Structure 1
Amino acid sequence: MSFDLSVFSNKNIILAVTGGIAAYKSAILVRRLKDYGFNVRVVMTHGAQAFITPLTFQALSGNPVHTELLNPEAEAGMGHIELARWADLVLVAPASCDTIAKFAAGLADDLLSTLYLATKAPVWIAPAMNQQMWAAKATQRNLNTLVEDGVHVIMPDAGSQACGDVGLGRMPEPEDLAEQVKNYFHQAQRALAEKFGLLAGKRVTITAGPTREAIDPVRYISNHSTGKMGFAIAAACYTAGAKVTLIAGPVSLDTPNGVKRINVSSALKMLDESLHQLEEGCDVFIATAAVADYRVAEVAEHKIKKAGDELNIALIKNPDIVATIAQQQKRPFMVGFAAETRNVEEYAAGKLVAKKLDMIACNDVSRADIGFASDQNAMTVFFADQYQMEKRDLEKASKQEIAQQLIEAIHDALNHEIDPV
């Protein structure tokens, strides 16, 4: 699965580090959170500073480290109340036995305990302590109080501890904690998208990449499509709140997060899967795949050996997938693509009518800067006459940006009043 990490760039994480040998893991945790794109500020207790220096966290986070409740410099800039307001999530890792007790008792005698009471952000704690301290009735009582107060407790791992004991009390690995934070924000974003996104509640099927038409067990007919545009559109549809199925030809791309992927090879198989998705339920069908126009009439059972200077292979026409779907009784909103090398807009406008599409996006693949393997694209979008919408020129941009603009065009057409046919 691939994530669009840019969605986390506006999310603010306060990582609070308390006293314990596991504080060294927190340095790695800062790096992992930054890798995901989060903004990170670190708060340290006095006990934490006995194990690791504030300078380490400042270097890793790129932000000053907050250590004192009443610090004239901090109060002149971002005081403890502003720090509490800044956070989208407060993660205490490691959370010592003492800090857990302070939180449960409602004390506010240092920066972290005051921050805990002052913030409206969700608070997560990752306890780390000796196994007997973890098992103590007072600790468990305090943890139960925090859970009742809405704090999310991340269970410690079991294993060997620095003191030599073996049992529960180890702080989970930084990679695991960062992954949990990432998933939390992703799920929250997804919930909003499913309710308010441009394609909220829509079921979208997308075809992407090339097809391969076998000649014999080792050779095939194909094209230069990489699937990048289709995969970018699949990711954008999911971000817009749609339930997305991606029918992909043979490409070397990671599946966008949240997208259901079905791998196929030939045009016939891609058509079969497309028809199946139609039966399952489809509101929007987006055909970005570069489907081979022809296939071999008779595929050789064994590898064809060299024999002479010429090889004649009979080809037969493949079915037109997008036109076939457009003719079905349960017809979804149809979006076609036209990758041309000349007369681009003329050919695209003709396909829009001939294949009975609702919308078509076309581009000039003869241009090296926006061709099949490029990370950028530029397109022109046409709509069927009944929508009474003017064509849209999508200027050269990343395929992710183009995908977002295409989603906006689909949304506008779906919500546009059309004349009865």
Structure 2
Amino acid sequence: MASFTAEQHRNDGKHHILLAASGSVATIKLPNIAAALGRHHPKVSIRIILTESAAQFLRGQSAEQPAVETLTDIPGVDAVYRDRDEWAEPGWTRGAPILHIELRKWAHVLAVVPCSADTLAKWANGFADNLLLSVLRAWDTTGLVDAGIKERRPMVFAAPAMNTAMWRHPVTALHLQTLRDEWGRSAPGKKNPWITILDPISKELACGDVGDGAMMDWRDIVKAIESYLGLYVQEG
């Protein structure tokens, strides 16, 4: 994959949407989200991050589980990244771009859809042991670092998805409190938070259990992203 820098796309006139998926069966809805955004909005540029666990759900198993390699066939999707893309051979040299920083600078919005229990826990505790977590850890939470290249502080949407027992586990509430109530508060002088949690819904889960913990309906996730960016589907 060719070297990527945010500066190359700074004035392209597009809305930059970074979609990410972590290890949950709800990853199979990621292509739907990307397709809805890309097909309805020509001024959208989408880049996708897949954790290694998430990629296991997109190996061409069925029509709703296309192979990772085909995701760039979706209109608007410009690139797909895996952990191995962070430190591509022959290795980093001084002055070369660092992918997780460039993606941070590029994105106007990051949507972690789905956000697994493991990724939620690691994010809330500051871990950065894969590409997605490195982007989250490097996020400009104050809006001051990237103030010169962005008009407003970018938003992180997170759509948790996990088994009902995992969702109701007391540690999950602590992680959500950290993200939503502590980290997500507006920085001094800022009116809006930088984290939005898209709460899961109740349904029959892929494992057979019935209860809450299922990822928010993908259509509602699309609407949340569209609303934040001011994107509207033309009728007729």
TM-score, normalised relative to structure 1: 0.41
Q: 2:164 aligned with 1:131, yes or no?
A: yes
Q: 2:118 aligned with 1:98, yes or no?
A: yes
Q: 2:213 aligned with 1:141, yes or no?
A: no
Match of 2:207 in 1: 163
State the alpha-carbon separation in 1 of the partners of residues 46 and 235 from structure 2.
28
Deviation at 1:146, TM superposition (A): 0.7
User: What whole-Å deviation, never above 9, does each CA across 1:347-367 have from its counterpart, x for those lacking one?
Assistant: xxxxxxxxxxxxxxxxxxxxx
Deviation at 1:54, TM superposition (A): 2.4
* Secondary structure of 1:64's aligned partner: strand
Deviation at 1:169, TM superposition (A): 1.1
Match of 1:182 in 2: 226
TM-score, normalised relative to structure 2: 0.71
User: What whole-Å deviation, never above 9, does each CA across 1:185-207 have from its counterpart, x for those lacking one?
Assistant: 229xxxxxxxxxxxxxxxxxxxx
Match of 1:27 in 2: 31
State the alpha-carbon separation in 2 of the partners of residues 44 and 66 from structure 1.
6
Contact 1:156–1:168 (8 Å) recurs in 2: yes
Q: Which has the higher contact order (CA 8 A, sep 6+)?
A: 2
Deviation at 1:181, TM superposition (A): 0.8
Q: 2:108 aligned with 1:88, yes or no?
A: yes
In structure 2, the CA distance between the partners of 1:43 and 1:124, relative to structure 1 (3 Å rule), is same
State the alpha-carbon separation in 2 of the partners of residues 16 and 112 from structure 1.
7
Q: 2:108 aligned with 1:57, yes or no?
A: no
How many residue pairs get aligned? The number is 183
State the alpha-carbon separation in 2 of the partners of residues 77 and 156 from structure 1.
36
Match of 1:15 in 2: 19
> 4+ residue runs of structure 1 moved beyond 4 angstroms?
73-78
Contact 2:25–2:57 (8 Å) recurs in 1: yes
Match of 1:195 in 2: none
In structure 2, the CA distance between the partners of 1:128 and 1:56, relative to structure 1 (3 Å rule), is farther
Contact 1:36–1:182 (8 Å) recurs in 2: no
Match of 1:45 in 2: 51
Greater C-alpha Rg: 1
Contact 1:156–1:172 (8 Å) recurs in 2: yes
Contact 1:93–1:126 (8 Å) recurs in 2: yes
- 1:252-401 equivalences under 5 Å are none
State the alpha-carbon separation in 2 of the partners of residues 12 and 78 from structure 1.
18
Segments of structure 2 that go 5 or more residues without pairing to the other structure are 1-12, 59-66, 141-153, 185-194
Segments of structure 1 that go 5 or more residues without pairing to the other structure are 1-8, 188-252, 256-421
* Secondary structure of 2:25's aligned partner: coil
Deviation at 1:173, TM superposition (A): 2.2
State the alpha-carbon separation in 2 of the partners of residues 129 and 174 from structure 1.
15
Match of 2:134 in 1: 114
State the alpha-carbon separation in 2 of the partners of residues 74 and 16 from structure 1.
24
Contact 2:33–2:222 (8 Å) recurs in 1: yes
Contact 1:16–1:91 (8 Å) recurs in 2: yes
Identify the match of residue 70 of structure 1 among 83, 87, 97. Answer: 87
Match of 1:409 in 2: none
Cα RMSD (Å): 2.4
* Secondary structure of 1:155's aligned partner: coil
Aligned letter for 2:23? Answer: G
State the alpha-carbon separation in 1 of the partners of residues 50 and 131 from structure 2.
8
Q: Percent identity?
A: 32
Contact 2:45–2:78 (8 Å) recurs in 1: no
Deviation at 1:31, TM superposition (A): 0.5
User: What whole-Å deviation, never above 9, does each CA across 1:1-54 have from its counterpart, x for those lacking one?
Assistant: xxxxxxxx6210100111111111011100011123321100010100111142
